[in-house]
Amino acid sequence: MSANVKEGDLAIVTTTDENGLMSVEVLESITTNHKTVSSVETPKAYVKQKFDGMEYVEYSYMRDLANKYYPDWCWTVIKTEFAGTEAYVVHGRLSWTENGAKKWGDATASHRIQKKKGSDSYVDLGNDIKAANTDCIKKAFNMFMNISDDIYRNQIEETELTHDQKESMILMARQISEDKGSEIAKMVDEGTIHGLNYKGALNKLKRQAKYERNSDI
C-alpha cells in the first residue's frame, strides 16, 4: 500500500465488466446494505457517556453488528506511536467484502495515557494501548460500515417523498382550495417540499385546512 494512505481513505477491489465498471446490481446491493446498517437504532444499554458528556458506543455491540453485516471483516494495525508522553496513537486498517467487492479503509485514533498523580509513572500503559486500538476500530466501524450512525450523528435522512406522502400533501392542500392543491403539487414536483421538511409542511397544511373549515361555520 502507498505510504501516503491517510485516515478516511477507502479502496474497492472487485471483478468488473469489460468496461471496468461494477454492475448496477452490486452497487445497489452495497448501498442498500449500508442504509440498512445506518438505520439500526443502537440499544441504550450499549450507549455510555464520557466524563465530558459525549456519548460513545461499547465495542462489543459494534463488533456484533460488524459480524452480522460484514462477517469477514479484518483489522490490521498499520502503525503505532507515542505522541510525546501524553498519548498513544494507532493507525489501523479495516478490510471486508461486500457482494464480491473487497474493500478497506484507514482510520487513526489516540488515547490519553494515564499517569499516577504527581508522578510520571504510568497507571496501566497496556490498558491505554488497548484502548487506543479499540477506539480506532470503533471509529472505522462507524466511518466505513455505518455502525451506530444514530449515536455518532452520521445518519442521512431520505429526501425523496413516497407516492403516499405526495398524495397526502396534495389532498390536504385541496381541502383548502384547488389553487392551493396546484401550488403544493408544483412544489412537490420541483422538490421544494421533500423528506426533510415534509412533516412540517403537512402540519402547516392541516392547520390551514382546519382554519378554513372553522371559518365556514
CATH for 103: 3.30.390
As a whole number, mean pLDDT of residues 25-52 equals 87
Q: How many domains does the chain have?
A: 2
Considering the domain architecture, whether residues 62 and 127 belong to the same structural domain is answered as: yes
Regarding beta strands 10-13 and 101-112, do their DSSP bridges make them parallel or antiparallel, or are they unpaired?
antiparallel
Question: For 167-191, how does the pLDDT look when each residue is reduced to its tens digit (9 = 90+)?
Answer: 988 999 999 999 999 999 999 888 8
Does residue 152 fall inside a structural domain?
A: no
Q: Is the pLDDT of residue 33 over 90?
A: no
Q: Which contiguous run of DSSP H or E holds residue 91?
A: strand 87-98
Instruction: Write the pLDDT tens digit of every residue in 59-112.
Output: 999 999 999 999 999 999 999 999 888 899 999 999 999 888 889 999 999 998
How far apart, in Å, are the Cα atoms of 194 and each of 191, 197, 209? 6, 6, 20
pLDDT at 45: 95
Strands 55-57 and 47-49, bridge-based pairing: antiparallel
Query: Do both 140 and 191 map to the same domain?
Result: no
pLDDT at 2 over 50: no
pLDDT of residue 145: 95
Q: Which domain holds residue 116?
A: 10-145
Same-domain check for residues 117 and 174: no
Distance CA 176, CA 183 (A): 11
SS3 of residue 205 by DSSP: helix
Res 118 pLDDT > 90: no
pLDDT at 94: 97
Tell me, yes or no, whether 4 lies in a domain. no
CA-wise closest residue to 66 among 140, 4, 151:
140
Q: Same domain for 127 and 82?
A: yes
150 belongs to a structural domain = no
- Give the CB-side neighbour count of residue 43, counting CA atoms within 13 A: 9
pLDDT value, residue 161: 81
> What's the whole-number average pLDDT of the chain?
85
Q: What's residue 6's pLDDT?
A: 62
| Helix, strand or coil, per DSSP, at residue 166 | helix
- Indicate yes or no: pTM above 0.85: no
For residues 80 and 45, state if they share a domain. Answer: yes
Find residue 213's DSSP bridge partners: none
110 SS3 class: strand
pLDDT tier at 27, thresholds 50, 70, 90 = confident
